Amino acid sequence: MLIFQTKADQARLEIEAKTHFSHDFISLLKTDNGWKKGSKIFYRENKEPGS
């Protein structure tokens, strides 16, 4: 019998501001004490003028 238990996951967050978009990618690790943030990668994408 094969049992899968998720010990890791990842979250993606996109936020739209007036002049740009913010993109966050966060890795998560499940421990006995709950979910912990592993690492975070982010970048900013500027909007085109007039959009």
Question: Tens digit of pLDDT for each residue in 4-38?
Answer: 567 888 899 999 999 999 999 999 888 889 889 99
Amino acid (1-letter code) at residue 38 = G
Angle CA(19)–CA(16)–CA(35) in degrees, nearest 5? 135
Residue 19: name the closest of 43, 49, 41, 39 by CA. Answer: 49
Locate the DSSP E strands across the chain. 8-16, 20-31, 34-46
Residue 20: name the closest of 36, 43, 1 by CA. Answer: 43
Residues listed for the chain: 51
Q: What is the pLDDT of residue 45?
A: 97
Q: Model's pTM, two decimal places?
A: 0.67
